[in-house]
Chains A and B, each alone.
Chain A
Amino acid sequence: MIKGLLLTGGLSQRMGQPKQLLTHEGETFKDRSLRLLSEVCDEVYVSLPYGAEKSNAYDLPDLAPSQGPLGGMATAFAHSPDCDWLVLACDLPNVGKEDLLRLVESREQNKDIVCYLNPYDAVPEGHCSLYSPSAKVALDKVFESNSRCLRSFLENLSRVELAPDRMNLLTNLNYPEDLNEWKAQQGNEVSEKQVTVEYYAKLREEAGCSSEHVTSTAVTLAGLWEECRMRHHLSTKLPEMKPAVNNAFTSWNHVFSPDDIIAFMPPFMGG
Chain B
Amino acid sequence: MSFHITSTVIQTEKIREQVVDDTCGAYVVFEGIVRNHHNGKSVTSLRYEHHPALAQSTGDELVQKALDKFPITAAYAVHRIGECVVGECAVFIAIASSHRAEAFQACQFLIDEIKTEVPIWKFETYADGESVYTAPCPNCIKS
Contact = CB atoms under 8 A, between A and B. Distances in A.
A270 B121 contact: yes
A269 B54 contact: no
A131 to B, nearest CB: 39
Interface residues of B, number: 29
B82 to A, nearest CB: 13
Nearest to B81: A270
B14 to A, nearest CB: 21
Interface string A237-253: 00000101001110000
Contacts of A202: 121, 133
How many residues of A sit at the interface, in one of the four size bands?
10 to 19
B18 interface: no
A221 to B, nearest CB: 15
A270 B54 CA distance: 13
A205 interface: yes
A71 B114 CA distance: 45
Interface of A: 198, 200-202, 205, 242, 244, 247-249, 263, 265-271
22 contacts: A198-B51, A200-B49, A200-B51, A200-B119, A201-B133, A202-B133, A247-B53, A247-B54, A248-B54, A249-B58, A268-B115, A268-B119, A269-B115, A269-B120, A269-B135, A269-B136, A270-B55, A270-B122, A271-B79, A271-B111, A271-B114, A271-B140
Interface of B: 32, 48-51, 53-55, 57-58, 79, 90-91, 111, 114-123, 133-136, 140
